[in-house]
Amino acid sequence: MTSMNIHPIVRPRSVAIVGLSSKPGSAGHVLLGNLLRGGYDGAVHLVGRSGGVIDGRTVLTDVSQLPEGIDLAILMVPSEAVLDTVNACVARRVRGAVCFASGFAEMGEEGRAQQLAISEAARAGGMTFLGPNTLGYYNYVDGFYVMMVEQVLPPRLDPSAGPAMAVVAQSGGIGAHIAASLKARGVPLSYMLTTGNEAQIGLAEMLEFFADDPHTGAIVVYAEQVRSAPDFLAAARHARSRGKGVVVFHPGRSERSQAAAQSHTGALAGNHAAMQLMMEHAGVLMVNSLEEVVDLGQLMLRFPQAPTGGLGLVTASGAMCGIVQDYVEPLDLELPPLAEAQAEALRAHLPAYTPPRNPLDLGTLIAWKPEIIELGVAAVLADPAVGCLLASLPMPGPEAALVWLKSFLAGQASSTKPAIFVMHNEDVPLYPAVLELAQRSGAIVMRSPERALRALARFTRFGRIQAAVASAPAEIRLPLNDLPTLGNGTQAEWQGKQVLRKLGIKTPEGALATTPNEAAQIAAKIGYPVVMKAQAATLAHKSEVGGVLLNIADESALRAAWSQLYANVARADATLVLDGVLVEAMGERGLELVVGASRDAQWGPILMVGLGGIWVEALGDVQLLPPNLPQAAIIDKLKSLKASKLLTGFRGTPAVDLEAVAQVVATIGQLMLARPDITEVDVNPLVAYPSGKGVIALDALVVTQ
């Protein structure tokens, strides 16, 4: 990826349009017109079977007639001719090519094989290849527009506009929609590029290019598949290291959405939850709608530092105060009370009937004292507990609207915290002067308070994730060289518990017995009552076949239980051969949790924690975590469970030992990072006891490859 040269694609010094039709108004003619109307002043060569002259330019009849070393070949040929054309371009040392043709990976395995052959031919010839199945792209910096659709071309980027937004999408229609929506808000754009099927150039390569582009300040990505997770995450981290935010919208949370993506660009469905987790951990802001793409993209460009505090609200409506209170709770966004210093700063400017608080209702004051908007915005933003601000005001006449926006901008001027100015009546167009001021000042002006709240809540969630990632990770020294030898595949419970004990995770006292006499000796050593569990790697659900017997009180009961257990297993599967029987001390009751880990083929190890026992399947109340999250952040995740009250003390029950639970989660995460041969770990239940009394793993599953 790092050696991929994108410049011949987006900033070529010479261009050849290959496959140009002689028919006026054809796609090739439109594309040529877009290039020239955009102001492209490099060398332009034309190739078409019919030859002739177009606009004074000679049309060559074969690629072999082109001069060597052209930067970019724009391929207008049908799908069946693409491979031969790529080979011909390689022979003329063309440095880059873009292909619009469809009919490749999105059509199935045969098309995927054709696409692979094209990619290999381009790569072998040292040619950078964009497509196939791309809609094209805009380079707003240089006015280089590669599109087959005739349209009003956008203006070039104004260098004085400051950092601009780059848009990269695997869908041409969605990329164009995002770009148009951002431009309508006055957001400056540097590039809009659609990658199509990504035979060679993909999202990761474009992220890497934009990360180093001096005109780009933030990047919006629409992805239907991330073809190389390591490359994408590395590029995203590189962009973040350059101070550039990355916003990603990836459909595919549903099976139908995944199927639609595959039929569109040949994208193969992946694990959406794993992808979202690891992207966020790498500093990518994930969104779930096109609205959020536009809103969060604009926020990220204007405010690179995401907030972590609560919401400040400045309004002129008491009703809006109540509406916002209803909204913030399900959005996990708080309205912190206004600090006394900020309240005191406002009292001198507010009448007695207008209390200085958050939310701040300025009422009718804004009509005859519009400067109060500046004072209110500045005071609320200055509160240390406030991380972002929403100013939600009615839509007045043209003159008042301009004054109110200016007052908002003056109040925001000394703060770097994200702030959105909402002017109601979203179905009524903004006044031109207001829109022009918003675009010139970089103000984020929206029309829906609900949409603004969702955007600020998502931005705050992202900021809190980044703060957790940035906190110092726990130092865990694992005795990885002393782990028991594990074979391939699923390990029996007794083997999994050997691994846990070596990692310092407590399990019940006990051992594996292969005869009734051994079982009696183990029980005598650890003390009655005991539990007996049938042991075999292929026996996944022991209790369902009668393979777990509890509360065995003495040796006589133990020997009877031994016979009963083997009989139960034989009834379920007469061919099953047991390793033996695990004899363990009965544990004390506590809160049952589950801690799991699995290795996703694309995204690597993912951890899971939640209520254990049968509740993990019945309720699905779990949190997903990356494998290297600090213990403090793990505890925050535990407190995010719907059943978190059970962890922190509920109706007389004591709070459980969250530090001990977090230690187990962190240890499992470190194990997954250090041992790539382990594909799955499942500790269920992990029984948690009151604070200071630790945890114990009652069952364990380890799977290796």
- At residue 631, the 3 state secondary structure works out as helix
* Structure token pair of residue 696: 């114990």
Instruction: For residues 35 and 108, state if they share a domain.
Output: yes
Q: Residue 108 and residue 268: Cα distance in Å, rounded?
A: 11
- Peptide bond preceding 132 in cis form (omega within 30 of 0): yes
Report DSSP state, residue 9: H
Taking the mean position of all CA atoms in its chain, how far away is CA 661?
26
CB count, 10 Å around CB of 56?
5
Q: Note whether residue 387 is domain-resident.
A: yes
Pick the last residue of a domain from 585, 600, 617: 585
Asked if residues 187 and 218 have their Cβ atoms less than 8 Å apart, the reply is no
Q: At what angle do helices 82-91 and 109-124 cross, to 10 degrees?
A: 0
Angstrom distance (rounded) from CA 399 to CA 431: 9
| Claim to verify: residue 605 and residue 668 sit in the same structural domain | yes
Same domain (yes/no): 602, 667: yes
Q: What distance in Å separates the CA atoms of residue 168 and residue 171, rounded to the nearest whole number?
A: 9
- Say what the alpha-carbon torsion angle 145, 151, 156, 162 is, to the nearest 10 degrees: -110
Residue 579 shares a structural domain with residue 596: no
The pLDDT value recorded for residue 262 is 47
Residue 478 within a domain: no
* Alpha carbon separation from 453 to 314, 323, 377, 382, 391 (Å, rounded): 13, 11, 16, 20, 11
The alpha carbon dihedral of 626, 627, 629, 634 has a sign of positive
Decide if 476 is inside a domain: no
- Which residues, listed in sequence order, are joined to residue 419 by a DSSP beta bridge? 389
Could you give phi then psi for residue 244, rounded to 5 degrees? -110, 120
Amino acid at 578: L
Instruction: Say what the pLDDT of residue 254 is.
Output: 54
Q: Which is nearest to 264 in space by CA: 106, 388, 373, 413?
A: 106
The pTM is what?
0.88
Last residue of a domain, one of 585, 603, 619: 585
Q: What is the DSSP string of 78-126?
A: -GGGHHHHHHHHHHTT--EEEE----SGGG-HHHHHHHHHHHHHHHHTT
Largest CA distance in the chain: 104
Q: Does a structural domain hold residue 280?
A: yes
- Angle made by CA atoms 560, 566, 571, in degrees to the nearest 5: 125
User: Of 304, 332, 352, which one is at a domain's C-terminal end?
Assistant: 304
d(CA 324, CA 574): 63
Under a CB-based contact definition with an 8 Å cutoff, are residues 99 and 134 in contact? yes
- 45 touches 15 (CB < 8 A): yes
**CB-based burial, 462-490: b 16+ in 10 Å, e otherwise:** bbbbbebbeeeebebebeeeebeebeeeb
For residue 261, the model assigns a pLDDT of 43
Separation CA 550–CA 552 (nearest Å): 6
CA distance 677 to 599: 10
pLDDT at 630: 85
608 and 581 in a single domain? The answer is no
Mean pLDDT by 10 residues, the chain (705 residues): 80 97 89 94 96 92 98 97 98 98 92 96 97 95 92 88 94 94 94 96 96 97 93 96 96 58 43 90 95 97 96 96 92 95 94 94 95 97 98 96 98 97 94 93 95 98 90 62 86 95 95 97 97 93 93 97 96 94 94 94 93 73 89 90 88 91 94 93 95 95 94
Residue 701, both tokens: 């599953």
Q: How far apart are CA 486 and CA 700, in angstroms?
A: 14
| Ramachandran quadrant class, 19 (left: phi over 0; alpha: psi -120 to 50; beta: rest) | left
Question: To which H or E segment does residue 297 belong?
Answer: helix 290-302
Residue 178: inside a domain, yes or no? yes
Beta-bridge partner residues of 314:
360, 391
Across the strands, what pairs with 46? 17, 59
Task: Judge contact between 315 and 360, C-beta under 8 A.
Answer: yes
Q: Is 440 helix (H, G, I), strand (E, B) or coil?
A: helix
Q: Do the Cβ atoms of 393 and 419 come closer than 8 Å? A: no
Give the separation between CA 409 and CA 443, rounded to whole angstroms.
Answer: 7
pLDDT of residue 505: 95
150 SS3 class: coil
Inside any domain, residue 495? no
Domain count, the chain: 5
Q: Are residues 459 and 314 in the same domain?
A: yes
CA distance 680 to 77: 48
pLDDT reported for residue 44: 97
Q: Say whether both 300 and 319 belong to one domain.
A: no
Residue 220 belongs to domain with CATH number: 3.40.50.261
The answer to whether 532 and 561 have CB atoms below 8 angstroms apart is yes
**166, 138 contact by CB (below 8 A):** no
Amino acid at 546: G
Same domain, 163 and 273: yes
pLDDT of residue 487: 87
Which residue pairs from 514-517 have beta carbons closer than 8 angstroms and sit at least 24 positions apart in sequence? 514/579, 514/580, 514/581, 516/558, 516/559, 516/562
The CATH number given to whatever domain includes residue 683 is 3.30.470.20
Residue 487 is assigned to a structural domain of this protein: no
Residues 288 and 326 in one domain: no
**Strand 591-600, strand 678-688: pairing:** antiparallel
| Strand 489-491 with 701-704, pairing | antiparallel
Judgement on whether residues 545 and 518 belong to the same structural domain of the protein: yes
Same domain, 602 and 570: no
Same domain, 314 and 384: yes
Task: Determine the Cα–Cα distance for residues 68 and 430; give it in Å rounded to an integer.
Answer: 53
Alpha-carbon distance of 322 to 677, in angstroms, equals 54
User: What range defines the domain where residue 94 resides?
Assistant: 1-133
| Token output for 236 | 């995203």
Alpha helices in 413-549 (DSSP H): 432-441, 449-470, 493-502, 516-526
CATH number of the domain where residue 24 is located: 3.40.50.720
Q: Is the peptide bond before 685 cis (omega within 30 degrees of 0)?
A: yes
Residue 47 falls inside a structural domain: yes
Q: Which residues pair with 508 in a beta bridge?
A: none
Q: Which H or E run contains 278?
A: helix 272-281
HSE at residue 348, side-chain half, CA atoms within 13 A, is 6
